[in-house]
Structure 1
């Protein structure tokens, strides 16, 4: 009888240790169906939506969007100017870096689309960049460019791509971004 009581206590202690370790490992605040509006001088600049936001308060100020994220950007007239969607994202607020991963799609107001598996935004330098292949499709199939990596301004008007290839069919209506490298 004494052995079975000892075993029961040992199991209970292991369960308590597991629970304590879980609580120590993951101090996370979770929010569901998140909508965050960014504004400046009473003008809405962007709106972020996500099914779930995980905030890690004990870390480096990290926010995680495991179930995907959509950010819509607006111009000074309130028109949507750009949107970024990905299946996963993190924001490291203290570093000023937002990382988008898995099925990253950037839609521009003019109909152009950028697709990649990784996209970083550096708040301090005010640039987008990545280190994996990227495709930039101009609206109406007028052109397509591919690169092994790139750096760009926030409006994707000046894009510096590494090993860039592609085609462009000129038309008077589309303004081609400045491609470098």
Structure 2
């Protein structure tokens, strides 16, 4: 769980978390999948993220989720990729891998993705295609 000013921002769960306590490079590893809930200002879930593997490197302030990564927002957007990296200090989420964003009216796919940590400003870096979705 991550909170800021007594407000829950993120809740993380997984079937198994390994806490590696090496002094020079401590990290937490979710080897059997991870599920993350992001909370908005009203303390309701604004989006979720799931992946089959995740690791958080404490010293670097970096979280990497891999393998079948899916982010879904409550407003109907979905991101699918094989890897996402969260830079905690810069408050940025990105990947250099193939990514696909599905919205209620189109699908955008390409290589590379960048967003701020709440996904409110997100974009595919090299768009390969845009497909309209009929209602």
Select which of 3, 14, 29 maps to 1:64. 29
Unaligned runs of 5+ in 2: none
Corresponding position: 1:138 with 2:108: no
Computing the radius of gyration from Cα coordinates, the structure with the larger value is 1
Unaligned runs of 5+ in 1: 1-36, 172-181
Corresponding position: 1:41 with 2:5: yes
C-alpha separation in 2, matches of 1:144 and 1:119: 19
Query: For this pair of structures, how many residues does the alignment match?
Result: 133
* Secondary structure, counterpart of 1:73 in structure 2: strand
TM-score, structure 2 length as denominator?
0.90
Select which of 87, 103, 107 maps to 2:52. 87
C-alpha separation in 2, matches of 1:44 and 1:99: 21
TM-score, structure 1 length as denominator?
0.68
Structure having the higher helix fraction is: 1
What's the offset of the Cα at 1:46? Answer: 1.3
What's the offset of the Cα at 1:149? Answer: 1.0
Deviation sequence 1:77-99 (CA, Å, 0-9, x none)? 11101111100000001101100
C-alpha separation in 2, matches of 1:104 and 1:45: 20
What's the offset of the Cα at 1:168? Answer: 4.3
What's the offset of the Cα at 1:42? Answer: 2.4
Structure having the higher strand fraction is: 2
Kindly report the root-mean-square deviation, in angstroms, between the aligned alpha carbons of the 2 structures: 1.8
Select which of 133, 154, 163 maps to 2:117. 154
* Secondary structure, counterpart of 2:115 in structure 1: strand
Select which of 103, 109, 112 maps to 2:77. 112
C-alpha separation in 2, matches of 1:104 and 1:87: 7
| Structure possessing the higher relative contact order (Cα contacts under 8 Å, 6 or more residues apart) | 2
